[in-house]
Amino acid sequence: MSAAETGAEARTIVALGLEGSANKLGVGIVKHVYPTGVPGDAELRPEMIEWANVRDTYNPPPGEGFLPRDVAAHHRATIIMLLNQALAEAKLTPKDLHCICYTKGPGMGAPLQSVALVARTLSQIWKLPLVGVNHCVGHIEMGRAITGAENPVVLYVSGGNTQVIAYSQQTYRIFGETLDIAIGNCLDRFARVLKLPNNPSPGYNIEQYAKRGSKYIELPYTVKGMDVSFSGILSFIEKLAKTEADKYTPEDLCYSLQETMFAMLVEITERAMAHIGSKEVLVVGGVGCNVRLQEMMGQMAKEREGKVFATDMRYCIDNGIMIAQAGALAFARGFTTPIKDSWITQRFRTDQVHVEWRT
Amino acid sequence: MSELPHSITLRIPFSDASLADIAKQSLEVDPVLSGDKVQLTVAVDGRYLVATCNGDTLRMVRVSINGFMDSLILVTRTLEAFA
Amino acid sequence: MAEQVLIRQGAEARVYKTTIDGRTAIAKQRFSKKYRHPELDKKLTRGRLNQEARSLKRCKEHGICAPDVIRVDKESATLYIEFISGPTLKEWISGSTDEHEQGELMDVVGQILHRMHSHNIIHGDLTTSNMIINDEPVLIDFGLSQISPSAEDKAVDLYVLERAFISTHPDSETLFARVLEAYRRDDAADAVLRRLEAVRQRGRKRDMTG
């Protein structure tokens, strides 16, 4: 039936997305098309067209981590250039946009704030509504859109987050998570101990070293119910690297660290799949780029007659278009964030979001 | 507040009142940390953005104002680029 | 060996119903996970088999209801234990409407957990599927268990159960609160419950620096 026959008006939403909760600053533009209008109670599945996805990463020198103050300075210095780049890439002007989506949280305070300031200012200049987006939900929605996974168990793994999530009744429920630090954080800190370069990311360099390792060194393995704990394995391997550097090569240490920590993640993901009866896994977040993790997850899924979905580095690493994606879905349902409510928050649980665009 | 002895007021001129107001609305949303030791408020007076900072120590005032300036400059650069 | 009927295939093990020495029994056979490095796989499979057997025996020694261990077969990574009939706590809660009965059962669960922790047995995977309601609640699935005196480990044990409760039975906060009330029997339990609050906060306070 055509739009004219049903009486529903075709609708297009063009959303700008701004992301800067950690050391990656991203600007993205997405277009959602609803040829027969926005469906009332049904799940929103617009035609999605990507128009821009640009990013710039702040990398400190090897052996150093990044501090919020320095990340915020990087974002402030770079965002206007990225905005212009994104609009040019999309061949759009501000008149073509419908909403400004930005990361409300979770993440680092000063960086989040610097991006939110720009979002609020643009919103007033261009007279467009603001849409505050949960960073994790951004990853999930982009993953779903790119891979087409129907209703997967989601493993969200990054520098700041490690969660096993499944959708239920308009909420992304957290089934399992880390009891202390995120896996990406653990990898980053170990990379610092080994003084690996931070470019393009510490985790990427650990992955390359691990590929050259082959000796399995026994490390603490900690799964508690559906949760995992990484602080024990981190302190153990940091000690090994410092006190027994003659006995174990960095390649073998990286190899063993990945094999052990990734096995923990695969285990809790599998438990969630068994618990809810799901056959699909979607891996999102920066650590999701890791090929070995994808391999191990794939092996587990195959044995259960299931399937793993993953995205490439355009989307698994923090980016602006995922914020536009999740924001546009919420916006289609009438969700906006008044400027006085557009404060940022370092803590924002994935399950606090009302997922109105799904049934 | 009488308990916060150190104070500074900045008056920043914009080319017109509507721009000063945009800056105010963007800047006033995020609360200042250590709210009991330092306070920063923004207001508009004609085409001026007026920022007032009261703090327990000079250091706190200086740190807050420095942070505020970074944010202000970002907002004005955004206005320059897109308004 | 008598005939085995597969009753469940979990993530880690196949569970069969069978008979041994005339008794109805469960055979829990752990299988290799191919995604794991073989050395890690062996360590986990063997370790968990031994841990489970050890914890079950320890429970029995201290009067905590758990299935009898009939046989441990290391070669096939199979644990033979007494078959316990009855619904899981999960099934029981789903099928119950009597709030008074529910509360009373939660009291018993809290007391059992307290007794278990007072003997430094950490279950490691407390869920409402890992308790069978027979005459008394019976704890099963001790594969992730360990022995530990630390309040932190006991708090995490309860935290795992709390999360399992909430994700499986929405609006079950009052039920779980009953469990904790019954658990709070002495100073040691108090210390654990204070740690539990800290563990809960960690979940809500994850920050990205460091």
Interface test with C, best of A163, A175, A215, A224 (most C CBs within 10 A): A224
Which residue shows structure tokens 């490691």?
C124
Taking an 8 Å cut-off on Cβ atoms, the answer to whether A224 and C125 are in contact is yes
What is the residue-averaged pLDDT of chain A? Answer: 95
Taking an 8 Å cut-off on Cβ atoms, the answer to whether A346 and C207 are in contact is yes
Mean pLDDT score, A247-263:
97
Q: Which two tokens stand for residue C82?
A: 């007494």
Interface test with B, best of A82, A117, A344 (most B CBs within 10 A): A117
Query: In chain C, which residue's Cα lies nearest the Cα of A295?
Result: C35
The strand pair at A130-134 and A99-105 is best described as: parallel
Whether the predicted pLDDT of C152 surpasses 70: yes
Taking an 8 Å cut-off on Cβ atoms, the answer to whether A124 and B74 are in contact is no
Nearest CA to A169 among C165, C160, C167? C167
Chain A, residues 34-73, CB within 8 A of chain C, namely 65, 67-68
Whether domain C5-82 has CATH 3.30.200.20: the reply is yes
Touch test A–C: 3 Cβ pairs or more under 8 Å: yes
Where does CATH 3.30.200.20 sit in chain C? 5-82
All residues of chain A having their beta carbon less than 8 Å from the beta carbon of residue B26 are 117, 120-121, 124, 339
Residue A260 has its nearest CB partner, among C40, C124, C156, at C40
Mean pLDDT score, C201-208:
62
Domains along chain A with CATH numbers = 3-140+318-352 (3.30.420.40), 149-316 (3.30.420.40)
Whether the predicted pLDDT of A359 surpasses 90: yes
**Alpha carbon separation from B19 to A115, B79, C93 (Å, rounded):** 19, 8, 60
C162, C203 Cβ separation under 8 angstroms: no
C169: pLDDT confidence band, cut at 50, 70 and 90?
A: confident
Q: Which residues pair with C13 in a beta bridge?
A: C30
Give the three-state DSSP class for A190. helix
- Lowest model confidence (mean pLDDT) among A332-346, B43-57, C170-184: C170-184
Q: What domain range includes position B49?
A: 6-82
**Alpha carbon separation from C121 to C39, C59, C118, C154, C177 (Å, rounded):** 27, 8, 7, 9, 21
Task: For chain A, say whether C33 makes contact (Cβ under 8 Å).
Answer: yes
- Determine which one of C41, C68, C107, C125 is catalytic: C125
Q: How far is A268 from chain C (nearest CA, A)?
A: 9
All residues of chain C having their beta carbon less than 8 Å from the beta carbon of residue A179 are 156, 159, 199, 202-203
A170: pLDDT confidence band, cut at 50, 70 and 90?
A: very high
- pLDDT score for C163: 87
A63: pLDDT confidence band, cut at 50, 70 and 90?
A: confident
A98 annotated binding-site participant: no
3-state helix, strand, coil split of chain C in percent (to 5) is: 45, 20, 35
- pLDDT score for C206: 57
Could you give the number of structural domains in chain B?
Answer: 1
- Rounded-to-integer distance, Cα A353 and Cα A133, Å: 9
Extended beta strands in chain A, E state: 11-19, 24-34, 47-57, 99-105, 130-134, 153-157, 162-168, 171-177, 223-224, 227-228, 280-284, 307-310
Give the three-state DSSP class for C122. strand
C89-204: CATH topology is Transferase(Phosphotransferase); domain 1 (1.10.510)
Give the three-state DSSP class for A132. strand
Query: In chain B, which residue's Cα lies nearest the Cα of A124?
Result: B22
B69 in a domain, yes or no? yes
Extended beta strands in A35-98, E state: 47-57
Whether the predicted pLDDT of B67 surpasses 60: yes
Neighbours, chain A (3 or more CB pairs < 8 A) = B, C
Q: How far is A225 from chain C (nearest CA, A)?
A: 4
> What are the backbone dihedrals phi and psi of residue A145, each rounded to the nearest 5 degrees, phi first?
-65, -45
Interchain CB contacts (distance < 8 Å): A and C = 101
B26: pLDDT confidence band, cut at 50, 70 and 90?
A: very high
- pLDDT score for A352: 94
B1 in a domain, yes or no? no
- Rounded-to-integer distance, Cα A60 and Cα A75, Å: 14
Chain C, residues 98-117, CB within 8 A of chain A, namely none
Task: For chain A, say whether C202 makes contact (Cβ under 8 Å).
Answer: yes
Residue A216 has its nearest CB partner, among C40, C204, C205, at C40
* CA R_g for chain B: 13
- Rounded-to-integer distance, Cα A240 and Cα A211, Å: 19
The strand pair at A153-157 and A280-284 is best described as: parallel
Interface test with B, best of A121, A122, A124 (most B CBs within 10 A): A121
A320 annotated binding-site participant: no
Segments in C62-186 forming alpha helices (H): 89-95, 99-118, 151-168, 173-183
* Count, residues in chain C: 210
- pLDDT score for A5: 52
The tens digit of pLDDT for each residue in C89-106 reads: 999 998 888 989 999 999
- Rounded-to-integer distance, Cα B21 and Cα B42, Å: 10
All residues of chain C having their beta carbon less than 8 Å from the beta carbon of residue A227 are 156, 159-160, 163
Taking an 8 Å cut-off on Cβ atoms, the answer to whether B78 and A122 are in contact is yes
Q: Which two tokens stand for residue C18?
A: 């069978």
Segments in chain B forming alpha helices (H): 17-27, 58-82
Whether the predicted pLDDT of A3 surpasses 50: no
CATH number at residue B65: 3.30.310.50
Give the three-state DSSP class for A36. coil
- pLDDT score for C207: 46
Q: How far is A170 from chain B (nearest CA, A)?
A: 29
Which pTM does this prediction carry?
Answer: 0.92
A238 annotated binding-site participant: no
Taking an 8 Å cut-off on Cβ atoms, the answer to whether A340 and B29 are in contact is yes
Give the three-state DSSP class for A127. coil
Nearest CA to C175 among C87, C66, C88, C98? C98
Neighbours, chain B (3 or more CB pairs < 8 A) = A
Task: For chain B, say whether A337 makes contact (Cβ under 8 Å).
Answer: no
The tens digit of pLDDT for each residue in A114-143 reads: 999 999 999 999 999 999 999 999 999 999
C59, C66 Cβ separation under 8 angstroms: yes
A66, A60 Cβ separation under 8 angstroms: yes
Sheet holding A153-157, edge to edge: A171-177, A162-168, A153-157, A280-284, A307-310
**Alpha carbon separation from B14 to A43, A127, B49, B50, B76 (Å, rounded):** 46, 19, 7, 11, 9
C93, C71 Cβ separation under 8 angstroms: no
C125 in active site? yes
Task: For chain C, say whether A142 makes contact (Cβ under 8 Å).
Answer: no
Q: In chain C, pLDDT over 70 holds for what percent of residues?
A: 95
The tens digit of pLDDT for each residue in C185-195 reads: 999 999 999 99
DSSP secondary structure code for residue C46 in this structure: H
Residue A185 has its nearest CB partner, among C167, C205, C210, at C210
Whether the predicted pLDDT of C42 surpasses 60: yes
DSSP secondary structure code for residue C18 in this structure: E
C210: pLDDT confidence band, cut at 50, 70 and 90?
A: very low
A275 annotated binding-site participant: no
Task: For chain A, say whether C35 makes contact (Cβ under 8 Å).
Answer: yes
Where does CATH 1.10.510.10 sit in chain C? 89-204
Chain B, residues 48-67, CB within 8 A of chain A, namely none
- Rounded-to-integer distance, Cα B39 and Cα A264, Å: 46
Task: For chain A, say whether C15 makes contact (Cβ under 8 Å).
Answer: no
C163, C126 Cβ separation under 8 angstroms: no
- pLDDT score for A276: 85
Query: In chain A, which residue's Cα lies nearest the Cα of C156?
Result: A224
Q: What H or E segment, with its residue span, contains residue A307?
A: strand A307-310
